[in-house]
Amino acid sequence: MTVTETATVLGISRSSAYECVRLGSIPSIRLGRRIVVPTQAINALLGSVTPEPQHDAAVQS
């Protein structure tokens, strides 16, 4: 997937995604002039994040 698509999936800005690619935080592959991010790398990043419990103020016990 492209860096722009990766930014959308991760919920970050396009420039932040490019910065993460530059720093190596997001694994990428350069194909000529194009930078692509393997979907397995994104799945691994998303799988390593544990969701925080959400508290709903309307539901009280």
Determine the pLDDT at residue 37.
96
Residues 15-54: tens digit of each pLDDT: 999 999 999 999 999 999 999 999 998 988 888 765 555 5
Contact 57, 50 (CB under 8 A): no
DSSP state, residue 2: B
As a whole number of angstroms, the distance between CA 47 and CA 61 comes to 31
- Asked whether residue 57 carries a pLDDT value surpassing 80, the answer given is no
Pinpoint the alpha helices (H) of 1-61: 3-10, 14-23, 39-47
Helix (H, G, I), strand (E, B) or coil at 34: strand
Where are the domains positioned within the chain?
Answer: 3-43
Q: Is the pLDDT of residue 60 over 80?
A: no
pLDDT value at residue 53: 56
